[in-house]
Structure 1
């Protein structure tokens, strides 16, 4: 990955993670996962463009689902904590977005590295 690609990936991943964090602040259990899916799909399509590739929305969704599934399997306690914290007024609006940002940042870099290897010229 070149420095320019890494900088573009950083901007894309960070901005999408912040957007997902904002969506996770809504105190409705389960809504965070739906928000994460939408954000991950758009993030995947944006990251693909950095490496000169092209993905359909369905392919981007499939990659996003795989990345979220891997992240959830690696850190199931974080996922449960993120969703269950929403049941506690006040605390959920702090904990859920923070965990959501961390999880999306991690998943974003996994996707970026995967796309880099797929579209390497």
Structure 2
């Protein structure tokens, strides 16, 4: 990965992290309500990361690339159900979890794009 690609990836991932944290934290008291917005954020991030590496992804191919991230959603969902309803701390924990999952997904995808696996 070139320095420019790394810089571009960092910018894309950081925007997605901030968005995911806001959505996850803001919707913590309603279990499952953040699933669609978070999927949209992560889908947009995936398509944008692909462009950094010269890949033109359709929505369906971006969803396929994100498929491995589904397992990580299980932990996030459990966290949201267990703690998300608790005002204040639930918002912080849910927002932080959404951000962490999005960051991990972003860098994993960037690595796979860089290595030509996607």
Q: What TM-score do you get using the length of structure 1 for normalisation?
A: 0.84
For 1:97, which of 85, 95, 98 is the aligned residue? 95
Q: Indicate conservation of the 8 Å contact 1:52/1:119, yes or no.
A: no
* Corresponding residue of 1:39: 41
Q: Indicate conservation of the 8 Å contact 2:32/2:77, yes or no.
A: no
For 2:78, which of 77, 80, 89 is the aligned residue? 80
Deviation per residue, 1:46-104 (Å, 9 max, x gap): 0001001101011112222x24224346xx3x541134322112221111001111111
Q: Indicate conservation of the 8 Å contact 1:12/1:43, yes or no.
A: yes
Structure 2, gaps ≥5 residues long? none
Structure 1, gaps ≥5 residues long? none
Cα-Cα RMSD: 2.0
* Corresponding residue of 1:111: 109
Q: Indicate conservation of the 8 Å contact 1:29/1:84, yes or no.
A: no
Deviating beyond 3 angstroms after TM superposition, the runs of 4 or more aligned structure 1 residues are: none
Pairing 1:12–2:12 present: yes
Q: Indicate conservation of the 8 Å contact 1:67/1:111, yes or no.
A: no
Of residues 83-92 and 109-118 in structure 1, the stretch that sits farther from structure 2 once superposed is 83-92
Q: What TM-score do you get using the length of structure 2 for normalisation?
A: 0.86
Q: Indicate conservation of the 8 Å contact 2:21/2:96, yes or no.
A: yes
